Chains A and B, each alone.
Chain A
Amino acid sequence: MKINDVILQAITKIVVFIILTLAVYLFFSGHHTPGGGFVGGLVLASAFVLLCLAYDVETVQKGIPFDFKYVAALGALIMLIVGLGSIVFDVPFLSQSFTSMESSLFGKIEISTVTLFEAGVALSVVGVVVTIILSISKDV
């Protein structure tokens, strides 16, 4: 089914970028304040879902040509590898470590292995949510 809704499409073009920015902000702010990989991933997925609503699924898949099932699996793999890193250093599974560095542009930045783990969570959430939405919408 071809959708032709000019207003929705015009607004979507702008709003998608706002949503994506919010998703990235939520993802990074999760380190100390509310937010994090799960919420960031959900917001990120909502951008894709909005795209699918405004345009049709085929167009979106032409623009974003990868299978979201693999995105979910990749996210899970990242989480596992980050967890397994602790086995290499002979500390209990899922142990975290962090350090901070000074940068002239942003000031003090904290770097921790949790962020990597959260990146895996975000990817999994995006993959799962988009897969579910697509699998429902496919045969309407």
Chain B
Amino acid sequence: MSNLVILPIIIPLIAGIIAVFLNKKVVITRGLTKIFIIANLAIVSYMTWIVFNSGSIILETGSWVAPYGIILVADPLSIVLVLTTNIVAAACAFYAPYSLSLKKEQHYFYAFYFFLISGVSGAFLTGDLFNLFVFFEVLLMASYALIVLGGDKVQLRESIKYVLINLFSSILFVTVVAFLYGVVGTVNMAQIAERVQEVEQKGVLTAIGILLFFVFGTKAALFPLYYWMPKSYIVPNPVISALFGALLTKVGIYSILRVFTLIFIHEINLTHEMFIWIAGLSMVFGIIGALSTNNIKLIVAYNVIPAIGFIIMGIGIFNQDAISGSVYYLIHDMIIKSALFLIVGVIAYVAGTSDLRKMSGLMHHYPLLGWLLFVSAFVLAGIPPFSGFIGKLLLLKGALTDEKIAIVIIALLTSLLILYSIMKIFIRGFWGEKNTTMELGKRSMKGFIGPIVFLLTFSVVLGIGAEYIYPSIDTISAYLLDPEQYIDSVLKE
């Protein structure tokens, strides 16, 4: 039974290895990819059902008992995120054959795609801080390979910066784990949480916590540390950008959510207060970046930063409503960000350029695409009844309960500007006269629309069906605010 937890990590790995062997037979690989990802999605859905009905599933690998061995924990938060990961990945699997050239597909795209999913699922499921580092490396290795796929001049130039910044933060991560091991003598997250409560001198732990926050903040592209992110996210193929935008930064934010609700909760006045400031600055600087550019891919890439800001704001406020909002927004953002990256990829493909100044009048030829962009702009900005609204509502409710007015104002203004930044693509790209320099109507968007509609459906369901989904989210936030539950379920006391 407990072996179920390993399946979301193992199935993509096996599929990836099969994809390595079959890399020249693209048609078979495409088919197998779809079968494997749907099978994985089904298994994860089943696991989600089990976790919500009968509690966390815990696997002690190699039969080593909890604090000594490596453990994998499928608790409500992690399993929901694994489920979302697989939904996004499934959409990308169906989008990829149309978006990628045959040469790129043959160059082990599907293998690295599966390794990326395996790493992301592993990072969500692990219950061990050092193992989190290992899974981070698995997913980063896959992302290094994906970002240079094709090997253009620009791609290589931007990816070297991406690799270096991630490498540096990984080394810092190892060093911080060593610090923490020196202080509490364990790397098991549940046991760390237990021992942190007993340590007399909290100062050193706060310092370690903040160091860890900077490590995860670099991976999550938070305010002072986001400069590497936008440009390196736009250079690969749209489907790879969608995977990156939906998954990579979100793993970083998940780690912050996990670590700062479970382990470092002894000095909330200092750490979590700092989060709120960083959240506000992330929103402001991210949206300024999005407004400053005319490259449609860059607009969407910059929009990742305010979203991270919204999530970290909820962690900073740290009450039930705010944490619910963070979790809701995290799920919502994974889905809508990948959908937006995919839509923008199609726009750049049919228009033949990603420069907003060179395109207009797309509506004449691609009305469906226009309306999809329109809907996703509404979802992203949080117009009711879509999913962004519920997340923001909970976040703002949490902030108002704690009377943090400044952040509420910043968040609302940012939402408005987010709407404007995406609408700018709609107004300038889709409205207006037909631009004769663009060869419109030549390229068909067959095959692109299905995955996008699939993702947007989830977004709409998350919004309209909030009545049914909210209780589960509420369970997750209650669970996160009570670390004893996690500790007890892992250490079995």
Contact = CB atoms under 8 A, between A and B. Distances in A.
Direct contact of A and B (CB under 8 A): yes
A69 B20 contact: yes
Contact of A92 (B20, B21, B62): B62
Contacts of A94: 61-62
Interface in B157-206: none
A28 B10 CA distance: 27
B59 interface: yes
B61 A80 contact: no
Interface in A68-103: 69-70, 73, 76-77, 80, 83-84, 86-87, 90-96
Contact of B17 (A77, A86, A95, A96): A77
B101 interface: no
A92 B3 contact: yes
A93 B20 contact: no
Contacts of B60: 92
Contacts of B62: 92-96
Contacts of A69: 20
B17 A76 contact: yes
Contact of B10 (A73, A84, A92): A84
Contacts, number: 41
Interface residues of B, number: 14
A5 to B, nearest CB: 33
A129 to B, nearest CB: 15
Contacts of B20: 69-70, 73
B17 A87 contact: no
B348 interface: no
B63 interface: yes
Nearest to A87: B3
A95 B10 contact: no
Interface residues of A, number: 17
Contacts of B10: 80, 83-84, 93
B1 to A, nearest CB: 9
Interface in A23-40: none
Interface in A101-128: none
A14 B14 CA distance: 39
B6 A93 contact: yes
Given A80-B14, A92-B59, A93-B59, A70 B21 contact: yes
Identify which of B3, B21, B60 gathers the most chain A CB atoms within 10 Å of its CB.
B3
Nearest to B115: A76
A92 B17 contact: no
B380 interface: no
Nearest to B6: A93
Interface in B48-63: 59-63
B2 interface: yes
B13 interface: yes
Contacts of B13: 76, 80
A97 B410 CA distance: 59
Contacts of B59: 92-93
A139 B469 CA distance: 56
A26 to B, nearest CB: 23
Contacts of A90: 3
Q: Can you list the 4 inter-chain pairs with the closest CB atoms, starting with the nearest?
A: A73-B20, A94-B62, A93-B6, A94-B61
17 contacts: A73-B20, A76-B13, A76-B17, A77-B17, A80-B14, A80-B17, A83-B10, A84-B10, A86-B3, A87-B3, A91-B63, A92-B2, A92-B3, A92-B62, A93-B10, A95-B63, A96-B62
Given A92-B3, A92-B60, A92-B61, 4 more contacts: A76-B17, A80-B13, A90-B3, A93-B59
